[in-house]
Structure 1
Amino acid sequence: MATPENYMIVETHIIPQGIILAVLAPFVFILNFPPLIWHFRNRNTAAICMVFWVMLMNFMTAINVIIWPYIDMRSMYDGQGLCDVEIKLLGARSPGLTAAVLCLLRALARVLNTEKNLLGPTKAQKRRNTAVEMGWCVVLPLFTMLLQWIVQFNRFALTGVSGCQPFITNDWTGWTLTALPLLLTNAVAVYYAVIVIIRLFKYKSSFNSILASSNTTRSRFLRLFIIAFVFLIGITPLQIYILVVQVPPPGAKSFSFSTIHDPSSWNSSVVIPSTVLYDRWTNLGCGLLIFFFFGLGKDAVGMYREWLVKVDLGGCFPVLLQTEHSQRGVLSSDHSKIPLRRKTSWSKIESSRTSCSRASVSPRSEGSSEGRDVNSSSPIRPRHEV
């Protein structure tokens, strides 16, 4: 570990950016819970992974800024254990998020593929599609963790306010192993984005009928496409810029695994005074976009209504019981229509309706009480009107 003499003291108080992050990161993390649950219900693997990576990064930001709020960290936690986990997740973040966007665009392109969308996907096609999505969204991020460890210069680096960061060797082997997954994933994602745009113009006149055959709606399709496209045009140029900046200089040393992973030198960490890194703000922006596109739609509002009814607020707010009879669906990888919420039983609705009214019932006469006892013992229940 670094000694106190090696620290460069810049400030010894909490910087304003750290305070803003400590407030916004947990707030955005909580906002993204409803979209995550909604996509879980509808088994949308790509969207689940996209929301997961953004939520995970904001959660790590909140944890780090609370643990290391100062730029001077001489008397703070040295990061052992926590940083060992975080740097692995940071290494898989960019490929994982880009792969999720790729799979989302791929699903949209399959919806607009009229040649293979006439009879719907078979069970074998569904299994194959699920395997492809799991390969991109799960296997690829895990593989990048391994590649990062191969070229990892030391155990980890610890920066003020921003927290844990990986240190990669500054040679062509390190650059190639970290850049290759990003370049490959971005190239395929751009390809599917172009395919979707071409098919949107090609089938503009029959767009609604194509979506109807895939059990989705125009609003859901456009929301998924817009957020995927925004993420893509925001992520791709930034990643290309970072890769260009990190190109090894002329005369860089050749890679040596035995030298880098020498136990006497590798099992160490570097403490670097810093400020809030740019990607912390990027993660906040991505989280707000996810909530804006997925947390304010009709389907999400219906899910909020269902939650409020479950906690017996339907009696206090009767408008919550005015549910729609039509089932809601969402675009999923197998083009299936999945209901957004289950049917609420009569007893649950009745209990929520009466929970708030009991406190306001005025005392009645003994005769009327007997009448109520007779009615309550009747096996015939009144019809519930929505």
Structure 2
Amino acid sequence: MADSDPWVAQENATIAFSLLGSVLANVPLYWHLRAWNMGSVQYIFWVGSQCLLQFINNIVWKDNAINWAPVWCDITTRWALASSIAICSSALVIMRRLYHIANITTIHLTREDKRRMIIEDTLIGSGFPILQVLLYWFIQGHRFDIYEGIGCWPAIPNTILSWFIYDLWPVFFGTMTAFYCTLTIRAFLKRRKQLAQIMATNSDLNFSRYLRLMGLAAVNMIFTLPLGIYTMIVNASSPIYVWRGLADLHYDFSAVNQYPAILWRSSPLAARSLEFSEWSFIGCALLFFAFFGFGDEARRHYRKAYEVVVKRLGLRPDLWQRLPEGWRLGSKPAGPQPINIVLPTIAPPSKRDTVYTTSGKLSISISLTDVGPDGNVVDNLKPPCLPSTRSSSSHYSIDSESDTYVSSDKDEKKDERESPLPPLPLEDPDFVLDIRRMTVPRPAPDVPMSVRHSMDIV
């Protein structure tokens, strides 16, 4: 149907970008894991995994709402809940760690300090999402829902208890991130010089990465806090299901509601909520790659990966030099390209027995007045005079009747030995250089005679 074409295109775009987000989010994983940046590592893990699960769900339930895999839906619905909270908590972990870096006097920590730091960051970044999964039992209305074109979805009735167990988390983490962001900026501006000296002694942290981490956490905070407040306002203005206990809430708990696309898309609020939830994970993945996929360390790893692939394929490794200069980080700057200068061959000065000029060319000047109306050279005109001073061994003989050049055998041998240019084909003593045979017939000039009086053919 024509009305369904925009939805089909949107489904295809969601599938493609979900896979792209899953891949791009994991590109910077290696260097963040090497630096034990647990906030970024957890952010990559939760965002990348949710984009991958979302990609699979969109393919399986692209054009149906059939309950193909109940256990799969049990897992993915809880994973989606945990991921939505983990993005907020990971941003808080990143900003909190940046605050501690801005306030320490040395960046060299002991093994015990590092272990405690990793445990704290892991508990904040992944502990709260896991807690959310455990508390999901108290707000879960039935097993799950299936939406055509989207897949499995958590079933959470709009109760007052769900506001505090689920809806309040983004507002809480957004507020805490904003608090740490303010403290971090203050400490950063106050101890900037000292912080630069500390970072100079650590290869896994520099100002560029520090500011990018701060930017990532700040952008997440800017979107998380207002959206969390907006969600609570919308839920509060919607019909509220009175929570009368778990027995009432879990009545017919094994039910699975299946919604065809034509049904849930007819509700603007449901369509906006479901689509925004999907694209929010894709946006977080693309945002993370935008901050860390084009940095200095990223380009260094791209170059290493490129060299490995080129070596395996047997290609020339210097193809990297053809890329823009900004992408060739980590390689030695290519020096100026050698300039090949070809010097002209200078013929030796003409000797007395040599009749050729240093240019090795015969210049003939023909006046336009020497051309007859039929385009041929007039016969009664004398050719231009040539030098008359020559040795006895070689001479020019110019006859008005035959226009003949005569050269002796001795002159030919001497020319072949001394001239740097190939000799003229004068082996035949009766060879005649006829200027008329070199003339190409052409019509009379169509310009006034006063414009140009002669033409030089070299």
Q: Give the structure-1-normalised TM-score.
A: 0.72
Structure 1 alignment gaps of length 5 or more? 1-9, 327-386
Structure 2 CA distance for aligned equivalents of residues 249 and 290 of structure 1 = 34
Deviations 1:210-230 (A, max 9, x none): 432555211111111111111
Structure 2 CA distance for aligned equivalents of residues 151 and 197 of structure 1 = 39
Structure 2 CA distance for aligned equivalents of residues 48 and 281 of structure 1 = 21
Q: 2:95 aligns with which of 105, 123, 127?
A: 105
Pair member with larger Rg: 2
Q: 1:242 aligns with which of 225, 228, 231?
A: 231
* CA-CA distance at 1:204 after TM superposition: 4.1
* CA-CA distance at 1:145 after TM superposition: 0.2
Q: 1:195 aligns with which of 183, 193, 208?
A: 183
Q: 1:174 aligns with which of 162, 179, 201?
A: 162
Q: 2:138 aligns with which of 137, 150, 167?
A: 150
Q: Which amino acid aligns with 2:78?
A: K
What does residue 129 of structure 2 align with? 141
Structure 1 CA distance for aligned equivalents of residues 238 and 200 of structure 2 = 54
Structure 1 CA distance for aligned equivalents of residues 275 and 195 of structure 2 = 42
Structure 2 CA distance for aligned equivalents of residues 119 and 146 of structure 1 = 37
Deviations 1:88-109 (A, max 9, x none): 0111122211111111111111
What does residue 210 of structure 2 align with? 221
What does residue 94 of structure 1 align with? 84
* CA-CA distance at 1:209 after TM superposition: 2.5
Q: Give the structure-2-normalised TM-score.
A: 0.61
Q: How many residues align?
A: 310
* CA-CA distance at 1:146 after TM superposition: 0.8
Structure 1 CA distance for aligned equivalents of residues 92 and 295 of structure 2 = 23
CA RMSD, Structure 1 to Structure 2 (Å): 2.9
Q: 1:306 aligns with which of 304, 307, 315?
A: 304
**Residues 1:213 and 1:317: Cα distance change in structure 2 (over 3 Å):** closer
Deviations 1:184-225 (A, max 9, x none): 323322221111121223234555234325552111111111
1:64 matches 2:57: yes
**Residues 1:175 and 1:219: Cα distance change in structure 2 (over 3 Å):** same
Deviations 1:359-384 (A, max 9, x none): xxxxxxxxxxxxxxxxxxxxxxxxxx
Structure 2 CA distance for aligned equivalents of residues 182 and 306 of structure 1 = 39
Structure 1 CA distance for aligned equivalents of residues 229 and 49 of structure 2 = 23
Structure 2 CA distance for aligned equivalents of residues 248 and 266 of structure 1 = 26
Structure 2 CA distance for aligned equivalents of residues 62 and 110 of structure 1 = 37
Query: Which protein is richer in helix relative to its size?
Result: 1
Q: Which has the higher contact order (CA 8 A, sep 6+)?
A: 1
Structure 2 alignment gaps of length 5 or more? 265-270, 322-327, 333-458
Corresponding residue SS for 2:41: helix
Deviations 1:31-74 (A, max 9, x none): 2221123322332211011112221222122112211223xx36
What does residue 284 of structure 2 align with? 286
Q: 2:43 aligns with which of 41, 50, 55?
A: 50
**Residues 1:47 and 1:151: Cα distance change in structure 2 (over 3 Å):** same
What does residue 316 of structure 2 align with? 316
**Residues 1:207 and 1:41: Cα distance change in structure 2 (over 3 Å):** closer
* CA-CA distance at 1:111 after TM superposition: 1.1
